[in-house]
């Protein structure tokens, strides 16, 4: 399965109500969350698309961030996360696809390569760090095809529940960043302390 092409959807259409600015623009070492994620996933992906709100898109253009990236607009944020995933899959077409939240930067491309190697047909892969499930999720081509079959009632859909009908492959990884979600200012402080100790922005 890992010989097939792999794409990536970065979910960045949320409102970031608990942070002072969009999470995509938060600092990650010498760059931003979104730029770090885009860079790492591009190393293992044929295509990377970023699902954004129109408001965030204009901010990115204003700051000249990811000028050459493919963007997808979610103009119905009330429909929730599953709809953003649907829009991303619709843009890319069926295929093995990483689904990554913008609030989980720092995941290494080496971790992503490990996930690709264990992917199976009609299954999805979840990274696990010290017993805790993390992100991204890697879905197979068949799962992406079934996501495209959902034609309405997106707001009632939940990705986690949707995936329960498929085989779940848990992969233990040595990458703490798969579980470091940033939802609050205190989460951001913790992330920055990790970066300071690891000097992650100097790692290639």
Using the predicted structure, report yes or no on whether residue 126 has a pLDDT greater than 50. yes
pLDDT number for residue 18? 63
Q: Tokens for 48, please give them.
A: 């990377």
Span 6-202: which CATH code? 3.90.550.10
Q: In which band, very low, low, confident or very high, does the pLDDT at 199 lie, cut at 50, 70 and 90?
A: low
pLDDT tens for residues 66-124? 999 999 999 998 898 999 999 999 999 999 999 999 999 999 999 999 999 999 999 99
Q: Where in the chain are the domains?
A: 6-202
pLDDT number for residue 77? 86
Using the predicted structure, report yes or no on whether residue 200 has a pLDDT greater than 50. no
pLDDT tens for residues 157-194? 999 999 999 999 999 999 999 999 998 888 888 888 88
Q: How far apart are CA 5 and CA 44, in angstroms?
A: 9
CB burial of residue 95 (10 Å; 0-12, 13-18, 19+): middle
Dihedral, CA of residue 195, residue 196, residue 200 and residue 201, to nearest 10:
100
pLDDT number for residue 70? 97
Q: In which band, very low, low, confident or very high, does the pLDDT at 203 lie, cut at 50, 70 and 90?
A: very low
pLDDT number for residue 122? 93
For 58-118, the three-class secondary structure string (H helix, E strand, C coil) is HHHHHCCCCCCCEEEECCCHHHCHHHHHHHHHHHHCCCEEEEEECCCCCCCHHHHHHHHHH
Q: What's the whole-number mean pLDDT along residues 14-41?
A: 86
């Amino acid at each position: 399965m890992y010989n097939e092409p792999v794409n990536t959807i970065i979910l960045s259409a949320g409102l970031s109500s608990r942070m002072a600015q969009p999470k995509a623009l938060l600092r990650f070492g010498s760059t931003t969350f979104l730029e770090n994620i885009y860079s790492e996933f591009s190393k293992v992906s044929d295509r990377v698309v970023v699902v954004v709100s129109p408001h965030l898109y204009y901010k990115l253009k204003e700051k000249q961030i990811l000028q050459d990236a493919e963007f997808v607009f979610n103009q119905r944020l009330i429909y929730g996360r599953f709809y953003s995933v649907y829009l991303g899959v619709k843009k890319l077409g069926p295929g093995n696809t990483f689904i990554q939240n913008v609030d989980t930067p720092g995941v290494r491309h080496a971790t992503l390569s490990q996930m690709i190697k264990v992917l199976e047909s009609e299954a999805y892969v979840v990274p696990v760090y010290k017993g805790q499930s993390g992100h991204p999720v890697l879905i197979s081509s068949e799962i992406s095809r079934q996501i495209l079959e959902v034609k309405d009632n997106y707001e009632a859909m939940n990705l986690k529940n949707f995936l329960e009908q498929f085989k779940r492959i848990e992969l233990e990884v040595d990458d703490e960043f798969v579980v470091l979600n940033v939802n609050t200012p205190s989460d951001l402080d913790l992330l920055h302390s990790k970066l300071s100790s690891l000097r992650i922005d100097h790692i290639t």
